[in-house]
Amino acid sequence: MGEGMSNDAALMPYISSANVACGFHAGDRDSMQKTIELCLQHGVAIGAHPGFPDRENFGRTEMQLPDEAIVSLITEQVQLLQDMALSMGTTVTHVKPHGALYNMAARDMRLAGIIAQTVYQINPRLVLFGLSGSFSISTAASIGLTVASEVFADRTYQDDGSLTPRSHDNALLNTTEDSCKQVLQMILEKTVQSVTGKKVPIQADTICIHGDGKHALSFAQSIHALLGHHSIQIQPFHP
């Protein structure tokens, strides 16, 4: 959310948590304020979505930065959103790294540790969202952070449980039928089918839909209805 798309307000009734761009890969103070206001109107939990300082590539191109630069960019973005939320009478509940930073941390234990330690230093009560089964989850949990294993409603998976890179033609799910089928399998069976047909074990604490995705609104509406039909409650993540 807050990435400059036109559908933020339309999506809000169908979600329970928002990952808010904090000005580096997208967004600015004005968009952050407007997104927080929408979250308050709809009872949606507010999360910081820090990314690489790379607006040109929307934070989706890998960058090799010194450790102190990673600490600084996470701290600056999370604290900015925290301060804004507090000034508006609310709080930030979770942190989810964005784009390339998220995917790099999922497979790199050292980077995952830097991010986890930084979040812990900012506020040890923050929940860290990370890719299910990845170093992001195991490393953060090992230092005492509460974690939420994240799965994706609009992305395909590789045999190792990683997301199919966006550079691949089959990286995205493009129909509500495929998205709903994947979401239900991830929740009820605790598996996801990879692009080769392998069933990969998965833990689904929170489901991601990318707000900039072509089908974001229809996916959100369909998944919201589907989970309601199966008596699966949608609510902000609580440990």
Is residue 191 assigned to a domain? no
Is residue 166 assigned to a domain? no
Distance CA 196, CA 174 (A): 17
Is residue 115 assigned to a domain? yes
pLDDT of residue 238: 74
Is residue 235 assigned to a domain? no
Q: What is the CATH number of the domain that holds 73?
A: 3.20.20.370
Distance CA 204, CA 75 (A): 27
Q: Please give the share of the chain, as a percent, with pLDDT higher than 90.
A: 99
Average pLDDT over residues 69-83: 98
Is residue 232 assigned to a domain? no
Q: What is the pLDDT of residues 94-150, one digit of tens each?
A: 999 999 999 999 999 999 999 999 999 999 999 999 999 999 999 999 999 999 999
Is residue 180 assigned to a domain? no
Q: How many domains does the chain have?
A: 1
229 pLDDT band, cuts 50/70/90, is very high
Evaluate whether 124 touches 144 at the Cβ level (below 8 Å): yes
Evaluate whether 140 touches 159 at the Cβ level (below 8 Å): no
Distance CA 228, CA 183 (A): 13
Please provide the average confidence, as pLDDT, over all residues in the chain. Answer: 97
- Domain of residue 60 covers 8-156+204-227
Is residue 123 assigned to a domain? yes
Is residue 72 assigned to a domain? yes
Q: Which two tokens stand for residue 171?
A: 């990286």
